[in-house]
Every structure is written in C-alpha cells, then in structure tokens.
Amino acid sequence: MSSWTWFHRLASPPSFFRLADRLAPWLGWIALALLAYGWINGLFFAPEDYQQKDAYRIIYVHVPAAALSLSLYVGMAVAGFVALVWRMKLAESALIAIAPVGASFTALALVTGMLWGKPMWGAYWVWDARLTSELVLLFLYFGVIGLWQAFEDPRAAARACALLAVVGVINVPIVKYSVDWWNSLHQGSTILKMGKPSITAAMAWPLFASVIGSYLFAGYVILRRLQNELLQREAGTAWVRELMGKSRV
Amino acid sequence: MGGYGLYVWGSFGCGLAVLAWNALSPRLARRALMRQMTESE
C-alpha cells in the first residue's frame, strides 16, 4: 500500500499546484527555445522543396498542430476515463484544462491545412476523410467545452464532459488512419513513420524541434490552466488562503 | 517565399496567434480569479 502514497500526494490539489509551479517555467522556456529554433530555421534556413518550393514551409506549423490535436484528445479522454472510474478531482480538472488547448491546435491544423491546400490542391477545402474527421475532432472539443459551461455543478459537468471525451476517442484512429483507409487528397504519413524518414536532415531537425517544442508548450499551458481550475474549485480552503496571503505580500 | 508568401506567412501568423492566446489566457484568468477571491473574502 505504501507504494501508492506518492500517487495520492501528487493527486492532492495543493501538492500538485506546487509541483506545477516548479515545472511550468521550465516547460515554457524550453518550449519557446525549441519553437524559435524550429520556426526560424524552417522559415529561412531549411532548403526549399523540389516540388512544393517554399509552400512546404507550412509543415512547421501544420504538423505540430495536427499531431497535438490528436495527442491532446487522447490525453483528455484518458483524464475523462480516470474521472469516470475513480472520481478523481484532479483528472476532472485536467480534462477541462486540456479541452480549449486542444481545440485551439485543432483549429490551427485546419486553418494551416487550408492555407496549404489552396496553392497545392487548388482548393481551401475538400470533404475528404482526413479533413472531415479533423473537423469532427474540433466539434468534439467544442462539445466538451460547451457541456462544461452548460452545468452549474462542476462535478456533474465533469462527468458529462468525461463521457463525451471517452466516447469521442473513437474519432482519433479515424483521423490518424483516414489517409490509409480511404482515397484521400491528403498525403500519407511520411515523416513520423518508422525506419528511414523520407526527408533530409536540414528540413527534419527544425520540424522535430517544432513538434517537441509544441508539445512542451501545450504542457506548460495545461499546467497553468489546471492550476486555475484547482484554485477555483478549492477557493476558501486553507491552502488557497495561504497562497493568496503570500501573493499579496 | 516564391509567390507563396501569403500562405506561408499566413500560416506562421496564425501559429503565433494561437501560441499567444494560449500563453496569455490562463495568465489573465489567474489575475481575474485572484481579484475575485480577494473581494469575496
């Protein structure tokens, strides 16, 4: 039993709040450095593509956003599952903290995809499997955010959101494998596939930096949002009062 | 950007906007929350 005490301590709002306070600045600054490296090199120093010329540079925004849109949904669904099964408050707060971040990166993936589609495919939008399922993903995020705002009682709201998040996770493999299952205008996965990547190092390093930087950035934002959720839920408790006392000094 | 400037810069601009919104909104929310909690005390 004693091996679980660390878990209970971590899941308690005041200790998680303090841990997030220590962790968040590191995540934020490393994310900023990686993103600056990735985007500046992607924009100005990576060689141009032999087919797409400079238009391919959109990849440095599009791929990290698209990868995050799926990963964050899975994270949200896992938090939802934990919230449903163990009624853990921290998981409920995590679910709510992730949703707006996920929605914003899903919207970014869609918009940059449109800006890439116009010059390459000749159309901003086509109703094909990849694009449509990604749009459904955005609506799932909106659904979770809307449900959260529709309930007065935060615990009831969290249960409803968790249920939607868990059921909606079925859309994630559909987005991911849509390019293999159906004929799609969208290209298949070429960069993050196993084995030899089909991209030269001068293009690949800025891309990897952008992807990892975006993940760390999302981690930073989620920690900060989670802290706010905890403060709101625990308002009036001893640890929040103590914290406010310190911040006023 | 070889004629693709609008699309490339547009994408990076949207990317920056999303980063900025994500970085700023929890900060503003925290400030509002702290003010609200101090008033209700």
Domain membership of residue A207 as a residue range: 36-248
With residue B5 as reference, give the H or E element that holds it.
Answer: helix B5-40
| Per-residue model confidence as pLDDT tens digits over B18-39 | 999 999 999 999 999 999 888 8
| Chain A CA closest to residue B19 | A217
Strand partners, A53: A49
Number of A:B CB contacts under 8 A? 90
Measure B39 CA to nearest chain A CA, in Å: 12
Considering only A62-71, A172-181, A212-221, B19-28, which range has the smallest mean pLDDT? Answer: A172-181
Question: What is the three-class DSSP state of A53?
Answer: strand
Say yes or no for a CB contact (<8 Å) between A54 and B10: no
| Per-residue model confidence as pLDDT tens digits over A195-214 | 666 788 889 999 999 999 99
- The number of folded domains in chain B is 1
Asked if this assembly's ipTM is beyond 0.85, the reply is yes
Going by C-alpha positions, the residue among B17, B41, B3 that lies closest to residue A119 is: B3
DSSP assignment, residue A169? Answer: T
Give the helix ranges, DSSP H, for A88-168.
89-121, 129-150, 154-168
| Per-residue model confidence as pLDDT tens digits over A9-43 | 778 899 999 999 999 999 999 999 999 999 999 99
Say yes or no for a CB contact (<8 Å) between B18 and A235: no
- The number of folded domains in chain A is 1
Q: Does the CB of A43 have a partner CB in chain B at under 8 Å? A: yes
Report the largest interatomic distance among the alpha carbons of chain A, rounded to a whole angstrom.
Answer: 62
Q: How far apart are the C-alpha atoms of A186 and A126, rounded to whole Å? A: 10
Domain membership of residue B9 as a residue range: 1-41
Residue A16 lies in a domain: no
Report the largest interatomic distance among the alpha carbons of chain B, rounded to a whole angstrom.
Answer: 60
Say yes or no for a CB contact (<8 Å) between B8 and A58: yes
Q: Does the CB of A108 have a partner CB in chain B at under 8 Å? A: yes
Residue A119 lies in a domain: yes
Provide, as residue numbers in chain B, all residues whose Cβ is less than 8 Å from the Cβ of A112. 11, 14-15
Residue A196 lies in a domain: yes
Residue A25 lies in a domain: no
Q: Does the CB of A57 have a partner CB in chain B at under 8 Å? A: yes
Residue A22 lies in a domain: no
